[in-house]
A and B are shown apart, each in its own frame.
Chain A
Amino acid sequence: MSTAAKTVTAPGTDQITSFTFGELLSSRTVIGQTLKELGETHDNLWVLTPDIGATLVEFRDTYPDRFVDVGLSEQACVGIAAGLANEGNIPVVSGMLPFLSMRALEQVRSDICYPNLPVKIVGTHGGLVGNGGSTHYAVEDLGLMTSLVNMTVTSIGDPLMVGEVLRQSMAMTGPLYIRLAVGKKDKVVYEPGSVQIEIGKGITAREGTDLTLFAHGETVSQALDAAGILAREHGINARVVDMFTLKPIDEDLILRCAEETGRFVVVEDHLTYGGLASQIADVIADRGIRLDGFRRLGIPQVFAGFGEDTELRDKHGYGLQATVDAALAVTA
């Protein structure tokens, strides 16, 4: 779906006039523009950040009374957001996920999830991205966040989806976690309007019958590329599911994919345990499903080292070739 190059206009944004379909766009820019747009329709929308606000400038300048940069204090940032939500506001905390998901974890859990407040946490550096080393990779975050009662957990690759999820989230009464990769250059996966985006529902990004490749975030486009190779070079028809909501997981879609394709490969930029593979494995076990093949690709139990994201994925066994190989293995 992502290969045709054409120019289209993104819905709901007037600043982004066009982009080349299948190419790169900044999720951070989309977030900044979407928040500015939502700030107008929601006068109780606040944006908070611990010193990661470069793309929030438009919101800050338009609604200075609803913008807070607390500096380097993630715990206070999340606690303050909870205090604002307690007063009937919709706070969005924007920052880097390694720190929001770990340093401020207890504030997320006890200040936001316990009273079930509508605080959104949106951030970058999910997975082995940015070349910052293991202090700056969020690789446990989905395990941590999916463990939290009341928390809805998403991981998004397509930059335009981020805007749509933010828009939908305005109606949510509880907390939401939005995970992005670097957020500077993200591949536009879906032609606007071509897929229905609904929090809690997976997206079938490519139809197929021989196996299902499950992915989220940046690995969706990798899975699509793998599916293309499998079709062209091996005659294998892989379905690709973008399971961008990890919690609540779309059980119906998992059951349908099990019935219709029988084999699963899960590829994610996260530790192999605690992320999407674990969520899917739970559904399989709980529902007593017998699959003909199951593989989980992701980060093994290592601190991953430095390198570009594609290099690190190859090194740790969840890059494009590894995805193709895993698909061949489960369909052999």
Chain B
Amino acid sequence: MFQYGMHVDPQDLRNPERDRFVLSKGHAAVCMYITMAIRGFFDYREIVDTYGQLGSAYGMHPCKVQLPGVEVSTGSLGHGLPLATGMALHGKRSGMDHRVFTLMGDGETGEGSVWEAALAAHSNNLGNLVAFIDRNRQLMTSFSEERVKLEPYPDKWRAFGWNVIEVDGHDMAALVQAFDSLPAPDSDVPTVVICDTVKGKGVDFMERNLAWHAGSLNDTDLARALASLAHGRKAA
């Protein structure tokens, strides 16, 4: 999203015309820091050297007060879509043509506040609002369809009045196409891009393994993981 889909400028953080990004699944902050560093927002070395340490701006969940490059402070699940809805409402009512993006996990859409905001976004015709959902089908301790039945998931969003795009979340070409096919920001229907993903993709011992939802890598695991990724690349 930072590399292709969003119009942002790391040299001009408060440009009113910029696209906004709300990381609703705040626990993925480290991924956002890195991708934003690649885009030129932050210093990669600083993230790696200070992450989670006393005084660092780079914590487990993003804080806009400590790190002004991020749009909002997030972490508690189910908060991102209401926040993004408010930001999109401002853009829409101001007649501006930027978009507001948010990224949610599928698990967090169990939170009622997500569906409250889905209603509000539809009711207020927020065509400038785009929600990406990491549909990895895993919660922390279970697989989503085993204990929490989200399906028919795309239909739920359609029933809430949203435009639904379904993609393979690991297919960069498909993701680019999804960005290219977004309705115009001044249109009236919010869009959800449901990204079919596999948690731990490419690391054989992590794929779809609940134990690695929040696992920590030791040196041996790291070597195995890197080898597995290299093997996958070679095969592809």
Q: Judge whether B79 and A115 touch: CB under 8 Å.
A: no
Identify whether the interface residues of A are mostly helix, strand, loop, or mixed. Answer: helix
Asked whether B71 is an interface residue with its Cβ less than 8 Å from the other chain, the reply is yes
Q: Judge whether B113 and A89 touch: CB under 8 Å.
A: no
Q: Judge whether B76 and A79 touch: CB under 8 Å.
A: no
Asked whether A14 is an interface residue with its Cβ less than 8 Å from the other chain, the reply is no
Closest to B114 in A: A76
Asked whether A52 is an interface residue with its Cβ less than 8 Å from the other chain, the reply is no
Q: Judge whether B79 and A116 touch: CB under 8 Å.
A: no
Known: A80-B89, A86-B87. A111 touches B120 (CB 8 A): no
Asked whether A71 is an interface residue with its Cβ less than 8 Å from the other chain, the reply is yes
Closest to B95 in A: A65
Asked whether B174 is an interface residue with its Cβ less than 8 Å from the other chain, the reply is no
Closest to A104 in B: B113
The 10 closest A-B pairs by CB, nearest first: A83-B86, A79-B82, A76-B116, A73-B116, A80-B86, A87-B90, A75-B113, A83-B87, A83-B83, A84-B86
**B66-109, CB < 8 A from A:** 71-73, 75-76, 78-79, 81-91, 93
Q: Judge whether A86 and B75 touch: CB under 8 Å.
A: no
User: Apart from A73-B119, A75-B113, what 8 extra A-B contacts exist at CB < 8 Å?
Assistant: A65-B93, A73-B113, A76-B82, A80-B86, A83-B72, A86-B83, A110-B75, A111-B72
Q: B188 → chain A, closest Cβ, in Å? A: 15
Q: Judge whether A73 and B73 touch: CB under 8 Å.
A: no
Q: A60 → chain B, closest Cβ, in Å? A: 13
**B120-152, CB < 8 A from A:** 120, 123-124
Asked whether A324 is an interface residue with its Cβ less than 8 Å from the other chain, the reply is no
Q: B57 → chain A, closest Cβ, in Å? A: 14
Instruction: Fill in one digit per residue for A12-56: 1 if any B CB lies within 8 Å of its CB, else 0.
Output: 000000000000000000000000000000000000000000000
Q: Judge whether A83 and B113 touch: CB under 8 Å.
A: no
Instruction: Fill in one digit per residue for B47-76: 1 if any A CB lies within 8 Å of its CB, else 0.
Output: 000000000000000011100000111011
Known: A70-B116, A83-B90, A107-B79. A76 touches B85 (CB 8 A): yes
Contacts of A80 in B (CB 8 A): 82-83, 85-86, 89, 117, 120
Q: Provide 11 A-B residue pairs closer than 8 Å at the C-beta atoms, listed in order of the A residue.
A: A68-B89, A68-B120, A75-B78, A82-B86, A83-B84, A83-B90, A84-B86, A84-B90, A110-B73, A111-B82, A115-B73
Closest to B112 in A: A75
Q: Judge whether B82 and A75 touch: CB under 8 Å.
A: yes
Q: Give the distance in Å from the alpha carbon of A114 to the alpha carbon of B67 in the complex.
A: 13
